[in-house]
Amino acid sequence: MIIEFLLIFPLIGSILLLIFKSRNIARPLLFLYSISYFLTSIYLCYCIHSNIKIGGLLKIYFAVDPLNIVFLLILSIVFLAVSIYNDGYVKVSDMKKSKLSYYSIGILLFIFSMTGTILSTNMALSWVFIEATTLTSAYLVYFERTKQSIEAAWKYVFICSIGISLGFVGIILLTIATADINSLFFSELYNHSAYINKTWLNLAFVFFLIGIGTKVGLAPVHSYLPETLSVSPAPISALLSAVLHNAAFLLIIRFFHITVLAGNSGYGRTLMIAMGVMSLFVTAVYIFTVKNYKRMLAYSSIENMGIIALGIALGGTAIIAAMIHLVFHSLIKTSFFLTAGNIFKIFKTKRTNEVHSIIKRDKLTGWLWIACFIGIAGIPPSPLFVSEFLMVKEMISSRHFLLMAVFLILLTIIIFGMAKRIIYMSCGKDIPNTHNHDDFEGYADKEEHKPVLLSPLMYVPQIILLLISALAGLYMPGILSKLLEQASLLI
Amino acid sequence: MENTLALLFGLTMLSMSATSRMKSYLKMLSIQGLLLFLIFYAFMEQFNALNFCFLAFETLGVKMIIIPLFIWRIIKKGKIYRDTSPSIPKFYSLVAATIILFSGFVFSVFLKKMLINTNPLSFGVALSTIIISLFFITIRKKVITGVIGYIMMENGIFLLSLSVEKEMPIIVNMGILLDLFIAVFILGLLVKRISRTFEDNDMDSLKVLKDSVDDN
């Protein structure tokens, strides 16, 4: 019943919130769910590690295996961090009672749909849940109700829905490829992969990669992503970037694994390498033109998803590297987006050129901003250094020299572009803010220079996540590397 | 029988690419719902009451009546009865749709041997429907026509899943229907908000967020 608990809790919680609409229920409920979610996923991880069988009513449709447990763990850690931050964020934002209830319902349903995507054992069912993630998060993207958020929500729902529909075409084509295997359960597809028609499988993979790749945010189907991530409230951007993209990636990995087992992964690998490089290229080009720091983080997400796609496509040690990248990108990006939320609360603007000397205004936020950058740029002790290093090593050993050169050049350009902005924002002279706040009704602080007091809860999660990442970069615990190794066997 | 119905379905796509009136779009969407039910009925080999009721509800209830009515309400509120000035003239879009549909037929004839347990003609029509819908979304300018294009595409995908004679578990079917329904509902609500906030119903007006523009 333990998996069912993860799925049923948010549904009951949402109904309770819908009925009572109380501030006193909303906040503790989210926190309680995140804590119990975290503990449950630790227990599930223990079960997988010690081969304990997990029963339940829905065990045919939802189960954990060595691969999805990693994604579930990431979700639980990020969700816990976000819910701690959210508590402070809600206090500072001073939301109305009903707005807070709907916001909390949105988060609960969003987590529900992501959990469903990660745990489902059936390809079509996981498709249903990935579409549900778009629909449940639409309200959260639209939450601030500005002109920008309407546009972002529209693009998000419209483009993602079309993309995911194309992903479903991929699933239908897979059913043609599987001929007599009348099932879409991953285990059955894996077991009978030898009988799958290779031509149809290739065609199915193209549709699936393009479709679900939209949700992952891989270029060239990423266009909605910078808009969505820049407009949503900070905790939501963190969830979208750190967990949702991973959940969608899990589906691509599952499909890719079928092509590997069918002995027909060459085509898929080429496509994923192409999309990965394109993602890096798009980021390298746009990172210099963006004028909004949350958009910059969104492009960084596109870049990192590209790196993970590259790692998975390369195979060998690059798969473990991709898994390390996936885990720690999520943790670091969460703290990055949450810190961006602090900056927005202090400066009341998302324009990069109107944010100066964060360190002087708020020391901790400023240093967190720099630390997050060090983490995401893969500068030691960031674990992303290890993953990128391993990927380069794999490129050398598999003689992909051109790819390696392109990869390193694009990474350098991106890091330079980001560093320029981050240093400009963190240091420099403290210039008074001249931004016109008219477009931020409800959030505009009429008194220009009144210092905003952030809650201590708006620092704690970032510090913990960054510390975990730094420690893992210096010394990767045996249990974690074993977990990632076991997961990489299923890719 | 099923081939005739699939052909009729393809013809509704041609009709949609040649018109600009919202009312005719919705009529065609309703007809597509009915045709999908008939195609499902023609393909049915063994009678499964639960599956039959569910798919009848999906095609006749949701696709034929509820969704077109819902879109009609939005159109009436926003007073957008036509999608004038598409990116390319209607005649050319009709020609393009015809070429895509024809390619679908050719494709299905070529793939006949490779398509096991699949009706080639409806498979070809379904694929071309999906491509025509994407084309439709690209050339039309109103946001509401975007939603109509999305529904057309979903109908194409439904036809594709019908042409592959394999049953999905009922839980998956229900999830798919629920997703489609909520997606259309949310898109509909967003269309309403867009016409209220932007005082315009064109996709082109959604340009507040851009890399080069100081959005906020």
Band of the pLDDT at A414, cuts 50, 70, 90? very high
- What is the C-alpha separation between A75 and A243, in angstroms, rounded? 6
Residue A127 pLDDT = 92
- What is the C-alpha separation between B209 and B215, in angstroms, rounded? 6
Distance from CA of B179 to the nearest CA of A (A): 6
CB contact residues (below 8 A), chain A span 170-199, against chain B:
172, 175-176, 179, 182, 184, 197, 199
Cα distances (angstroms) measured from residue A34 to each of A136, A161, A282 = 18, 28, 35
Task: Tell me the per-residue pLDDT of B88-145, one tens digit each, with 9 for 90 and over.
Answer: 888 888 999 999 999 999 988 888 777 777 788 889 999 999 999 999 998 888 888 8
- What is the C-alpha separation between B95 and B98, in angstroms, rounded? 5
Among the partner-chain residues B118, B154, B175, the one whose CB lies closest to the CB of A128 is B175
- What is the C-alpha separation between A423 and B208, in angstroms, rounded? 27
**Residues of chain B above pLDDT 70, percent:** 97
Residue A443 pLDDT = 43
Average pLDDT, stretch B16-36?
A: 90
- What is the C-alpha separation between B184 and B32, in angstroms, rounded? 16
Residue A438 pLDDT = 44
Residue A332: both structure tokens together: 């670091």
Residue A299 pLDDT = 95
**B142 SS3 class:** strand
The whole-chain average pLDDT of chain A stands at 90
Asked if B116 and A176 touch (Cβ cutoff 8 Å), the reply is yes
Give the closest residue to A17 by CA, choosing from A110, A143, A101. Answer: A101
Residue A447 pLDDT = 46
Residue B203 pLDDT = 73
Are residues B157 and A169, on separate chains, in Cβ contact within 8 Å?
yes
Are residues B150 and A151, on separate chains, in Cβ contact within 8 Å?
no
Task: Tell me the per-residue pLDDT of B55-89, one tens digit each, with 9 for 90 and over.
Answer: 899 899 999 999 999 999 988 888 877 777 777 88
**Residues of chain B above pLDDT 90, percent:** 34
Residue B212 pLDDT = 59
DSSP A120: B
Are residues B211 and A61, on separate chains, in Cβ contact within 8 Å?
no
Task: Tell me the per-residue pLDDT of A119-129, one tens digit each, with 9 for 90 and over.
Answer: 999 999 999 99
Residue B187 pLDDT = 87
DSSP A193: G
DSSP A194: G
Task: Tell me the per-residue pLDDT of A149-196, one tens digit each, with 9 for 90 and over.
Answer: 998 999 999 999 999 999 999 999 998 888 778 888 999 999 998 889
Name A427's Cβ contacts closer than 8 Å, sequence gap at least 6: A357, A359
- The answer, yes or no, to whether residue A448 has pLDDT greater than 70, is no
Residue B215 pLDDT = 52
Are residues B197 and A150, on separate chains, in Cβ contact within 8 Å?
yes
Average pLDDT, stretch A369-373?
A: 95
Cα distances (angstroms) measured from residue B147 to each of A89, B23, B128, B155 = 35, 14, 18, 12
> Does the predicted interface ipTM exceed a cut of 0.90?
yes
CB contact residues (below 8 A), chain A span 253-292, against chain B:
286, 289-292
